[in-house]
Structure 1
Amino acid sequence: MNPPAAVVVGGGPEALFAVTVFDDGVRAEMTTGPWSSSAGSLGVLADNVLGYALIVGAPAGLWSVSAEISLDFFQLPPVDGTTLRAEGRTVHTTSAAGLAEGSIFDEQGRLVSRCRQWGRYIELSGPPPEGRPTGTPTAGLLDKIREQVSAADGRAELRVDVGDDLVNPIGTLHGGISLWLAELTAGAALARPDFVPASLTATYPRPLPHGEIATFRADVVTAGRRMAVTRVTGANRAGKPCVVATVHHHIPD
């Protein structure tokens, strides 16, 4: 069962990370480049195919919002202009929730990441979002965000305005963007260039709506010779947790 093409909605997050979602919703591509220089940059690609897979399987009249997203990384994404391809599928649904899983491959067919998402089904206050052209994001936005990270003594912090370029079709911080922000702050807190992310899991207890100011704080829980664990919390203005993430770094070889 495929959703109508109007269900697939492109916007700022897809433009920022050069992601194109096909009309069936469960397949997408990402053209690599400077924006794909970290494992977390796969977040928008993964969240699209997983989220739309859950929307395809949703009970009539309901939409899916992310409850938890997990990614396992087997290699870092390239930055050479090649294409990554992602596929998602629904594993299980109930009247209230669903689970989707997916894979991301490079042009040689090698596995780059495995991912999964728990979604929670909600009733929309209005009609489903309509399809629209992929947005044109603010020039240099990703670089600007990277430059705003402050880090010292195993901790890092980043404040982000939840603006047009960062939200999903229903006007809240895109799950894939939150994954990128979590991995970005975790890496800054760890400050170990010899380590690479092995996995990233984020849970979403409440949304970060358009116009909010999100503060991401990362703390290194433990760091040894070959592995480390960092915990990241993204909070709203009131200090309430909206994103709670764990990043596992390791030396793979």
Structure 2
Amino acid sequence: MDTATTCQNRHDFQPGGPEIMFGVDELSASDTGFRASMVSGPWSAGPANAAAVGVLADNVLGYALISSAPLGRWSVSTEISLDFVGPLPADGTRMSAEARVVHASPGAGLAEGSLFSSGGQLVARCRQWGRFIEATPQRDGGTGGFSGPCRSVAEVTDAVLGDAPAVDGRAWFSLPVEDDLVNPLRTLHGGVTLWLAELLACRAVDSVASGLVPASLAVSYLRPFVVGDVATFRAEVTSRGRRLAVTQVTGLNEAGKPCIVASAHHHGPG
């Protein structure tokens, strides 16, 4: 039986900038887990945009974990992974996601899920470890909703890739963490982080190999990128062959401290 878009009537789902950007507009809970959906579009076209489902995956996994957290606690991501098994649609049809908690303790939890095209084809598998903390999420200064302005995915992509040189398997860029990129805790949304890491990894891979497509991406979240900070991402292809490339992506805050470490795998299509 479905319930409203809340986590056990304790935390409302409040779409923010990341959800508006990527068309993630639904979240529901049932006895078997959580479900969410997003609209496909130009932002999900092409191999480099495989992690455009990052916000969808993070939301459905994260809210599943929040539902299993002790009362008064919120879940923050410590690791999120995506395995891509098919190309994402980009024709305006709706993609769906489902997730369930497979383990929970007083301090942490693990959720797993799947993402599907409108025709029911599996396009990705996802997994998230969360740590339960005492927190009071807010949106837009505590008003309970995001009031914008919000950039489009294309605008953020242009800002990132326009400032992302790639040479000999290395690529990098810096991006201010603005209001339209953050989650309810006012830190860079974990799904946006997934997307940015994959964009840069693809940029690095394309500088030394051609014809490879995303296979998997795993991000470890070491500390948050807070709103107002400047996030600097650096990617380096650490191993490559004719049909495989492995890329490490690190994300540093303005103080030079590591906030994320990611591993991206690309392989030959088919």
Is the 8 Å Cα contact of residues 70 and 106 (structure 2) preserved in structure 1?
yes
Q: How does 1:14-29 map to 2 (within 5 A)?
A: 14-24=19-29, 26-29=34-37
- The reply to whether residue 169 of structure 1 matches residue 184 of structure 2 is yes
SS in 2 for 1:107: coil
Spell out, residue by residue over 1:117-169, the C-alpha distance to the aligned partner (whole angstroms, 9 max, x if none).
00001001x46767526855124233322322211111000101000111001
Q: Which residue of 1 aligns with 2:51?
A: 40
Q: Distance in 2 between matches of 1:74 and 1:205?
A: 27
Q: Which residue of 2 aligns with 1:143?
A: 158
Flag the 1:7–1:128 CA change in 2: closer, same or farther, 3 A: farther
Q: How does 1:2-151 map to 2 (within 5 A)?
A: 2-4=7-9, 6-24=11-29, 26-37=34-45, 38-124=49-135, 126=136, 131-132=144-145, 135=148, 137-139=150-152, 140-151=155-166
Q: Which residue of 2 aligns with 1:205?
A: 222
Q: Distance in 2 between matches of 1:15 and 1:143?
A: 18
- The reply to whether residue 229 of structure 1 matches residue 246 of structure 2 is yes
Is the 8 Å Cα contact of residues 5 and 23 (structure 1) preserved in structure 2?
no
Is the 8 Å Cα contact of residues 171 and 234 (structure 2) preserved in structure 1?
yes
Given the two structures, how large is their TM-score scaled by the length of structure 1?
0.94
Higher mean C-alpha deviation, range 226-235 or range 190-199: 190-199
Listed as ranges, the gaps of 5+ residues in structure 2 are none
Q: CA deviation at 1:210?
A: 0.4
Q: Distance in 1 between matches of 2:218 and 2:27?
A: 25
Identity %: 54
Flag the 1:14–1:5 CA change in 2: closer, same or farther, 3 A: farther
Q: Distance in 2 between matches of 1:247 and 1:127?
A: 30
SS in 2 for 1:221: strand
RMSD: 1.9
Given the two structures, how large is their TM-score scaled by the length of structure 2?
0.88
Q: CA deviation at 1:23?
A: 4.1
Listed as ranges, the gaps of 5+ residues in structure 1 are none
Flag the 1:202–1:240 CA change in 2: closer, same or farther, 3 A: same
Q: Distance in 1 between matches of 2:146 and 2:181?
A: 15
SS in 1 for 2:36: strand
Spell out, residue by residue over 1:96-127, the C-alpha distance to the aligned partner (whole angstroms, 9 max, x if none).
10000110001111100000000001001x46
Q: Distance in 2 between matches of 1:111 and 1:46?
A: 13
Q: Distance in 1 between matches of 2:215 and 2:108?
A: 27
Aligned length: 252
